[in-house]
Amino acid sequence: MSCYFRHMQSIPEEAGITVTQDNKKEIDRKIHEIVDVSYKNCPEAWRAIKAGTADAEQRSAFVAKLKEALGNVLLFINYFARSKQLWIRIH
C-alpha cells in the first residue's frame, strides 16, 4: 500500500494535504480512483501518477482532482482523529 508516497511528497503538499497515519490509507484509495487503477496496485498507480503529472498543466489538474476528492473525507478523518484523541485523554 502507498509504496509511491515517498516519491510524490510534494503533490499532497501542493493540494494542502498533510499525509498522516490516520489519513494515508484514504488518500491512497482516492489516488487510485483518480488514476483509475485498482486499489493496492502500487506499481501501476505510480506509473499512472508519473504519466498524469508529466508537465505543469497535468500536475496542476492532478493536484486539483486530489484536493477535490479528499476535501470532505479529510475533514471527517481529522475530526475523528481529534475526537479519538480527546476521548483517550478524558478516559
Phi/psi of residue 39, nearest 5 degrees? -60, 140
For residue 84 the three cell numbers come to: 479519538
For residue 14 the three cell numbers come to: 501542493
Reported as a single tens digit per residue, the pLDDT across 51-88 is 999 999 999 999 999 988 887 665 555 555 555 544 44
Alpha helices, DSSP H only, in 35-55?
Answer: 42-52
25 pLDDT exceeds 60?
yes
For residue 78 the three cell numbers come to: 481529522
pLDDT for res 72 = 63
pLDDT for res 16 = 83
Q: Would the pTM count as exceeding 0.85?
A: no
Q: What is the DSSP letter of 38?
A: -
* Ramachandran assignment for 36, one of left (phi > 0), alpha (psi -120 to 50 degrees), beta (any other): left
pLDDT for res 53 = 93
| Domain residue ranges of the chain, discontinuous segments joined by + | 5-90
pLDDT above 90 as % of the chain = 40
